Amino acid sequence: MAAVRLYPDGVTGLWRSAWSAPSAVPPPPRRVWRDWALLAVVAGLAVVEGLFRTDLQQPLLAVIALLAVLPTVLWRRARPLVMLVVAMVVLGLLLPDSTLYTSLFVMVLVYALFRWGAGRDLVIGSALLIASLGLTFVRGGGLEDLIGGFALLLTMVLLGIAFRYRAGSRQRTLDGIRMREREHLARDLHDTVAHHVSAIAIRAQAGLAMAPRDLRAAEDALGVIEAEAAKTLSELRSMVRVLRQGDTAELAPSPQLADIEQLAGTRPGGVTVAATVTGDDGSIPSPVAAAVFRLAQESVTNALRHGRQVTRVDVRVEADAGGVRVHVTNDGDVAASPTPGFGIIGMMERAALLGGTCRAGPAPGGGWVVTAVLPRVGWTP
């Protein structure tokens, strides 16, 4: 059996793939106070080093050169390759004999290149770094310096690649959550619209049965209604089938606000779940009601699964003319630095798709609270 080659063009295809690789996702963050703090600390250390080191041939020029290229740390995420080239040219070529220890800040630029750079930046940057190591060795650097420099560069490169992969993996997970939430919303919309369209089709069929006793125009209109309703229902089912990646459509009714009270009860471990719904007059649109039910259900599930020493979970849902408010609390212990998990992110995404908001975090008096507000209308397609 012939071996399968991942890159049919061999090494050329591998390099072409690396060259055309996109920048890291998500995009780099904006400049923050830590960047300015790094700049200030390195600048101060460079000045101190220039004043007290006695082995520098041109200490003043070395400090001035380092201070001139130090602002590259402020643009290292947006232009990683350019900033690295500027620093290497000034510090490595113009001042080869007056190198400050603080010039090691260039390793931050190396990390930024492999953390945020595009594929072509990584290829060019790798070639420049290897050439820089070779030039250092040719200029008289010992084998120990070459090995040490290579080890330091390799460490920063691997750190950049590791954090790049980690962020990319998390972003792919978040994209999957968003797609699943859109799929769930499409299911709810399908169930709602299918119910109404089915009723239209039935009425149209009944009208056709009575049409011989009435005007011909009524018969024509009913025929159009039936055809359009059947076509719409078929297209909706096809759309949801595609979103579900081949699954058959579920025609079970979507959960309503009243179904939230079914979450109440005593769960394994002695946890008491209380659920109350007020203001429900049946006028809340089904997609909104289904989303509220799933938000409440996910909040209870998260409390039971991830909460520590939880004894009670309270679910309160209030509906009015503006929309629906959800308030879920539990009395469990909260971690020192709680971070939102993928379940909470999914809840926020579902609320945002319907034009609402969802927040989760430690409660003022202890425990954990989830609050959500969903309007009656306003979801995005």
pLDDT at 282 over 50: yes
pLDDT at 5 over 80: no
User: Which of the residue ranges 84-98, 111-125, 302-316 would you say has the lowest mean pLDDT?
Assistant: 84-98
Q: What pLDDT score was predicted for residue 298? A: 85
Look at 144 and 234; give whichever has higher pLDDT. Answer: 144
Q: What pLDDT score was predicted for residue 381? A: 40
Query: Which amino acid, 363?
Result: A
Look at 381 and 141; give whichever has higher pLDDT. Answer: 141
Cα distances from 46 to residues 62, 75, 133, in angstroms, run 9, 20, 23
Look at 327 and 288; give whichever has higher pLDDT. Answer: 327
Q: What pLDDT score was predicted for residue 251? A: 46
pLDDT at 1 over 50: no
Predicted confidence (pLDDT) per residue in 156-165, tens digit: 888 888 888 8
Residues forming a β-bridge with 315: 275, 328
- Tell me: cis bond preceding 26? Omega within 30 of 0 counts: yes
CA 58, 62, 63 angle in degrees (round to 5)?
Answer: 120
Query: Which amino acid, 65?
Result: A
Q: What pLDDT score was predicted for residue 341? A: 59
Give the model's confidence band at 93: pLDDT under 50 very low, under 70 low, under 90 confident, else very high: low
For range 371-375, the mean pLDDT: 89
User: Which of the residue ranges 122-131, 168-177, 206-215, 322-331 would you say has the lowest mean pLDDT?
Assistant: 206-215
Give the model's confidence band at 247: pLDDT under 50 very low, under 70 low, under 90 confident, else very high: very low
Q: What pLDDT score was predicted for residue 221? A: 63
Predicted confidence (pLDDT) per residue in 17-73, tens digit: 666 666 666 777 788 888 899 899 989 998 888 888 877 777 888 888 888 888 988
Q: What pLDDT score was predicted for residue 7? A: 47
Q: What pLDDT score was predicted for residue 143? A: 75
Give the model's confidence band at 337: pLDDT under 50 very low, under 70 low, under 90 confident, else very high: very low
Nearest to 181 by CA among 357, 6, 363, 348: 348
Q: What pLDDT score was predicted for residue 269? A: 75
Q: What pLDDT score was predicted for residue 234? A: 57
Determine the Cα–Cα distance for residues 103 and 67; give it in Å rounded to an integer. Answer: 10
Contact call for residues 190 and 249 (beta carbons, < 8 A): yes
Nearest to 137 by CA among 109, 177, 96: 96
Look at 141 and 101; give whichever has higher pLDDT. Answer: 101
Over pLDDT 70: what percentage of the chain? 67
Instruction: Kindly write down the DSSP assignment for every residue of 118-175, as one continuous string.
Output: -HHHHHHHHHHHHHHHHHHHHTT--HHHHHHHHHHHHHHHHHHHHHHHHHHHHHHHHH
Q: Output the average pLDDT for the chain.
A: 76
pLDDT at 301 over 70: yes
pLDDT at 222 over 70: no
Contact call for residues 84 and 131 (beta carbons, < 8 A): no
- Dihedral (C-alpha) 281, 283, 285, 286: value to the nearest 10 degrees? 50
pLDDT at 87 over 50: yes
CB contact set of 76 (below 8 Å; sequence gap of 6+): 83, 84, 108, 109, 112, 113, 116
Residue 314's SS3 state is strand
Contact call for residues 349 and 309 (beta carbons, < 8 A): no
Determine the Cα–Cα distance for residues 205 and 199; give it in Å rounded to an integer. Answer: 10
User: Which of the residue ranges 54-58, 124-128, 357-361 would you say has the lowest mean pLDDT?
Assistant: 54-58
